[in-house]
Amino acid sequence: MPRITLPDGCRGLDMADGTKYTKGPGDKVDVSQAHADAIRRGYYGQSGIMRGGEQFTLGTKRGMACTPCKRVWNAWNHECPRCGAPTEEQTA
Ligand SMILES: [Zn+2]
């Protein structure tokens, strides 16, 4: 079962189908595979703020680096979620 870490300030997840996961900030939450896929496709996954296990790292150490922000995002972040600049593929 996929496990994700909620970002600071996030008190839980409300899924589109009405399922709610509630945890304190920083806690790990076990979610169903379907919900993990939804999260990965959605805002949290796209913005890179939701971190988790292999479901969210795509099984690789590759990341997309933003030079201005000096940070490496997830492999699917072709633009920096923070500043919007194009990212460059990087092998960390
Ligand atoms: Zn940036």
pTM above 0.75, yes or no: no
Confidence bin at 21 (pLDDT 50/70/90)? confident
Cα-to-centroid distance, 73 and ligand 1 (Å) = 9
For residue 72, how many other CB atoms are within 10 A of its CB? 20
Cα-to-centroid distance, 90 and ligand 1 (Å) = 14
Check residue 17 and give its pLDDT: 81
**Residues 53, 17 share a domain:** yes
Two tokens, residue 62: 């590759």
How much is the average pLDDT of 8-14? 69
How does pLDDT run across 40-60, given as a tens digit for each residue?
A: 776 555 555 555 443 444 444
The answer to whether residue 1 scores a pLDDT higher than 60 is: yes
Check residue 46 and give its pLDDT: 54
Q: What SS3 state is found at 81?
A: coil
**Domain of 82?**
62-91
**Residues 14, 48 share a domain:** yes
**Per the structure, how many domains does the chain have?**
2
DSSP state, residue 32: -
Cα-to-centroid distance, 28 and ligand 1 (Å) = 27
**Residues 81, 48 share a domain:** no
Cα-to-centroid distance, 9 and ligand 1 (Å) = 21
